[in-house]
A and B are shown apart, each in its own frame.
Chain A
């Protein structure tokens, strides 16, 4: 508890001292006592006039102005991060109140503080928002977008995004105009129909930042999550078009039919143009990543730069920048991931998470600060009408559209689903920024709009954000499953896909599945060959999936093994996992015990049964097996070196432990062994990153000298995620089995309960 108080006091100190320089005007002077002369550029030669008194050499000077801007920015970011830290230290709090609420409240607090101190408040600069704060969040969302559910529900998502947003805008705009007319007060007299429509188009767009912030914490099942989230991403195109459309119309004053038609055309141009721009940049990134095998350090940079360029290029033409970002991320991901090293992948993932988390925090804080700052025009009728209409139009829209959509869907959306979709339509900072962008001359009621939008945003984030979690529990909405990426699931996904395509073929029906299959084959035969370096282009997806799975498991085990011994020396990503590993490993140890007991009991039987298979399988006799294994391991060593450098460098120590024995390996199979018991330390292999061409001589394989079947040697580390290079020896991590059985014809490996990092589960999706 003492730590908590310390943290809070630090935060308070920062708050107070931070608000002072932040709020100070440009012209304030630094402390004059230390430096009598006015601040001067230190590089200009000092032309002291002859009559100035000789002054002492200044040992310590204060020059705040030169570093002011970066200092302020860094201070804000530091403040935001410390707040995030503090927020998560208090466990009870974070489970009741969603993070976004807390951040807005902190923003309000900071704003109030600054105002009290009499300084000018920093307002949410829309340039800053759209060009710096928003892209990381969208890129993070787009890059890790789960493709499969997104693709399956694309029709539904598009209908919600396009038709739903249109309905919301028009319904709310018209009714609001009617309310303004009826109300008849002087404040609302200047509000005409077009202004109302513009306002409602801003206020009706579901905001991806807010949705992400809230939905990430409630863990509903995949379908609902992707529906709301996908809608919030795709409605950007509609919002952009409507916004510009109504702005133009309001400024021109009159609307003709041609204008309406052009507006519709504009929508298609904006949406498809954005996607096209994104796809082009995505392909460029994929091509570039083909050649980065010699400079792996800057690989993540290409991903970020190309995506950002896609966003900016789309913004140049007023196309939908968000859709460009999403398209870029989606297009480039499969190819880039096949080309870059594992470390680069980790870098990309963590950088994206870091930036998007930071952006989100800053956005909400600034929202709070701007609320305190902005000039407000409060009108009870307008504001309350806005809130009521927002809710009403959303509910009506979702209900009506679902009725229509369910006729075409396989899995119908139930009432509960509809409720969550409607309730999850949160508004956020994008709406606020768009309102801020309105020019005050053409829209004298801009302050009124701003106030109303802020109120709506606050309402949705606070009320809906806080209550959605208990509501989800109350309604017993299905939660997200523990997605363990099992190999069985993958096999059956593929199998079922092929069965379905086949049955479609038998029926002579060309459904969307058929075209998807064709696209997949086109992808495999052309795109993958050009865009993916080396032999991985030929790798079928089942194999790459399997390799990836093995790689992850090995890394997990490797890191968990070292976690107990080398904790300080480990990189932080491992310690992130180590936390989870400890708890998970304990569970799995019991399972391991159980499994080993049962396996031991069964092995006698299975060995005989399997031997009976072996007559026509590839079983060799025991003596031959040893030689075979020698040869195989030699080959593996060569392969390993090449693949290791490409995929992973596990900085661990080589440990040998006596009780380990090397179990036999079946010739035709890969060597995999069950996890060792608790008493035995896990042998980990140290591998230096070897250039691809050098023959592997990293000390990995076990001692080869012993011939007799039971050997006290550690396991052999096979390189993971290597593609089968012709010989098809795909190594994997092995650990010796502490088993008495001598007659094991094969080692049964336990890929184990998949202890994949939760973040990986949520954010990695493999395409099939």
Chain B
């Protein structure tokens, strides 16, 4: 989990910067936020994130919080969920939202794109088996509609089914391992130096998901 001294020194920052690609300043800002969230302890727990007031009205709050504690996102060998994370893991999750910098080669950009997609995929795939099944997708849609009361629940199933069939229609007979996007979508991120952290912009939308689904041969 990384043993961090309460006063991080430059050396550790440098290591982190190399690992995650953030600049030193950004790491400093994020560290402040980390300390604020974790009430000055070294580790962050689910409850710390769950109690953020801004997240309260977010319909997929639980999935976002889970994403921070998901072993697959933390680049560890363990696949399952963890209970608490340190600053390094926090940074690793945050680094998924970085934009590709201008100095990157095309393969590096592809790699980054894949990482982001993998992150999103993991958010959908809750049972860690590498595939998004109909049930999981239904769950996603239900969560999205969870704020709209009971009327959302019934139609959620219909919507999820229609969506799955759309995918099946488009990707008949193919087996794909994880999310792919069609041509037009870009990720980028912009760190705001004055404010506390970073935000993401996704410029265009996923056009379709190709999943290894119940419909493959």
Which B residues are CB-close (under 8 A) to A748? 165, 168
CB distance from B174 to the nearest CB of A (A): 11
Contact between chains at B55 and A491 (CB < 8 Å): no
> Quick check: A491 and B163 within 8 Å, CB to CB?
yes
Assuming A487-B163, A499-B60, is B197 touching A509 (CB within 8 A)? Answer: yes
**CB of B28 closer than 8 Å to a CB of A:** no
Q: Which of B5-13, B17-25, B182-190 contacts A (4 or more CB under 8 A)?
A: B182-190
Q: Are A505 and B157 in contact (CB under 8 A)?
A: no
- Complex contact B64–A502 (CB within 8 A): yes
Residue of B nearest to A511 (CB): B199
Q: Are B155 and A730 in contact, with the CB atoms below 8 A?
A: yes
What is the minimal beta-carbon distance from B106 to any residue of chain A, in angstroms? 15
With an 8 A cutoff between CB atoms, is B205 at the interface?
A: yes
A86-94, A361-369, A664-672: which lies at the B interface?
Answer: A664-672
A491-B140, A543-B159, A749-B165 are known contacts. Are A496 and B202 too (CB-CB below 8 A)? yes
Q: Known A411-B203, A507-B199, A542-B144; judge A595-B135 contact (CB<8 A).
A: no
A726, B195: Cβ atoms closer than 8 Å:
no
A508 touches B36 (CB 8 A): yes
Docked CA distance A375–B159 (Å) = 64
A502-B58, A613-B135 known; A752 and B207 CB under 8 Å? no
Report which of A487, A494, A610, A728 forms a contact with B153, defined as CB distance below 8 A.
A728
Number of A-B contacts (CB under 8 A): 204
Q: Is A513 an interface residue (CB 8 A)?
A: yes
- CA A256 to CA B202, docked complex, whole Å: 48
B159–A542 contact, CB under 8 A?
Answer: yes
Question: Of A540, A749, A753, which contacts B162 at CB under 8 A?
Answer: A749
In whole angstroms, how far apart are the Cα atoms of A221 and B154 in the complex?
A: 37
Complex: how many Å from CA A491 to CA B161? 12
Q: Are B172 and A594 in contact (CB under 8 A)?
A: yes
Taking the closest CB of chain B, its distance from the CB of A612, in whole angstroms, is 10
* Minimum Cβ distance to chain A for residue B10 (Å): 23
User: Please, which residues of chain B bring their CB within 8 A of the CB of A601?
Assistant: 217
| Interface SS of chain B | helix
Pair A540/B147 contact, Cβ less than 8 Å? yes
Mask: chain B, 49-84; 1 = CB below 8 Å from A; 0 = not: 100101101111100100010000000000000000
Do A602 and B163 contact each other (CB < 8 Å), given the known contacts A543-B155, A546-B155, A594-B172?
no
Residues in A whose Cβ lies below 8 Å from that of B55: 502, 505-506
A500 interface residue per 8 A CB criterion: yes
- Chain B residue at minimal CB-CB distance from A540: B148
CA distance A594 to B60 in the complex (A): 37
Is the CB–CB distance between B214 and A609 below 8 Å? Answer: yes
For the complex, what is the distance from the CA of A152 to the CA of B197, rounded to whole Å?
21
Q: Are B199 and A513 in contact (CB under 8 A)?
A: yes
Q: Distance in Å from the Cβ of B26 to the closest Cβ of chain A?
A: 11
Q: Report yes or no: A487 in contact with B36, Cβ–Cβ below 8 A.
A: no
Known contacts A538-B148, A595-B172, A749-B161: A501-B58 contact under CB 8 Å? yes
> Would you call A504 an interface residue if the criterion is a C-beta within 8 Å of the partner chain's C-beta atoms?
yes
Given the interface contacts A505-B58, A751-B165, does A491 sit within 8 Å of B159 by beta carbon?
yes
Contact A543 B163 (CB under 8 A): no
Confirm or deny: B151 has a beta carbon within 8 angstroms of a beta carbon on chain A: yes
Complex Cα spacing A499 to B167, Å: 22
Q: Are B144 and A506 in contact (CB under 8 A)?
A: no
Q: Is A503 an interface residue (CB 8 A)?
A: yes
Tell yes or no: B150 within 8 A of A by CB: yes
Mark each residue of chain A from 592 to 630: 1 if its CB lies under 8 Å from any CB of chain B, else 0: 001100110110001001100100010000000000000
Residues of B within 8 A of A692 (CB): none
Contact A492 B151 (CB under 8 A): no
Bound: A598/B215 CA distance, A: 9
A519 CA to B141 CA, complexed, in Å: 22
Contact A602 B165 (CB under 8 A): no
Measured CB to CB, the nearest residue on chain A to B55 is A505
A498 within 8 A of B: yes
Once the chains bind, are A410 and B196 in contact (CB under 8 Å)? no
Using known A-B contacts A498-B144, A752-B169, determine if residue A488 contacts B151 with beta carbons closer than 8 Å.
no
A749 — which chain B residues lie within 8 A by C-beta?
Answer: 161-162, 165
CB-nearest residue of chain B to A768: B205
Given known contacts A509-B195, A752-B169, is B141 in contact with A491 (CB within 8 Å)?
yes
**Please, which residues of chain B bring their CB within 8 A of the CB of A740?**
none
> Is the CB of A394 closer than 8 A to any CB of chain B?
no
CA distance A749 to B68 in the complex (A): 36
Is B178 interfacial (CB 8 A cutoff)? no
Q: Give complex CA distance A521, B148 in Å.
A: 12
How far apart are the CA atoms of A613 and B134 in the complex, in Å?
Answer: 10
Q: List B99-144 residues whose CB lies under 8 Å from chain A.
A: 99, 120, 123, 134-135, 140-141, 144
List 20 additional contacts besides A488-B163, A542-B144, A546-B158; criterion CB under 8 Å: A488-B167, A488-B207, A489-B207, A500-B199, A500-B200, A502-B61, A507-B197, A508-B54, A509-B192, A538-B149, A540-B147, A543-B159, A546-B155, A594-B172, A595-B169, A595-B172, A598-B217, A728-B153, A751-B165, A751-B166
Q: List 30 A-B contacts (CB under 8 A).
A: A410-B186, A410-B203, A478-B184, A486-B166, A487-B163, A488-B167, A488-B206, A488-B208, A492-B209, A493-B205, A498-B60, A499-B60, A500-B201, A502-B58, A503-B97, A506-B68, A507-B30, A507-B198, A540-B147, A540-B148, A546-B155, A599-B215, A609-B214, A617-B135, A727-B154, A728-B153, A730-B158, A732-B158, A750-B169, A751-B162
| Chain B residues in the interface with A (C-beta under 8 A) | 30, 33, 36-37, 49, 52, 54-55, 57-61, 64, 68, 94, 97, 99, 120, 123, 134-135, 140-141, 144-145, 147-155, 157-159, 161-163, 165-170, 172-173, 184, 186, 188, 190, 192, 195-203, 205-209, 214-217
Closest 3 CB pairs of A and B: A728-B154, A507-B197, A505-B54
